[in-house]
Amino acid sequence: MLDNERENIEIEIEELAMQLSDMLNVALFFAGVKKENLKKAVDAYLDAIDDVFDEDDDSEMGQDEIITVINYIKRNSPKLFT
């Protein structure tokens, strides 16, 4: 029974991760990223997190932090945007 529960939890985590990935793509699209540049923009977003915030800072990313990272990408990678 325990293995089955663990497997169900792992599946739920994978599904949530996919939903978060989709949400990031949508947020970047509505921030102005061209649809064909979404993959590059996601990569830029993940790289920018380290550029914008201290790597030793383990605090969670909220709305303000996400907006800060997207604005950083807009300034540093304007070709990704329309």
Residue pLDDT, tens place only, 57-70: 677 889 999 999 99
DSSP assigned state of 7: H
DSSP assigned state of 53: S
Helices and strands per DSSP (H, E), number in the chain: 3, 0
Number of domains in the chain: 1
How far is it, in rounded angstroms, from Cα 73 to Cα 21?
A: 17
For residue 59, the model assigns a pLDDT of: 76
Residue 6's domain comprises 2-80
| pLDDT at residue 17 is higher than 90 | yes
Angle at 17 between CA 13 and CA 67, to 5 degrees: 135
On whether the CB atoms of residues 48 and 73 are closer than 8 A, the answer is: yes
For residue 56, the model assigns a pLDDT of: 66
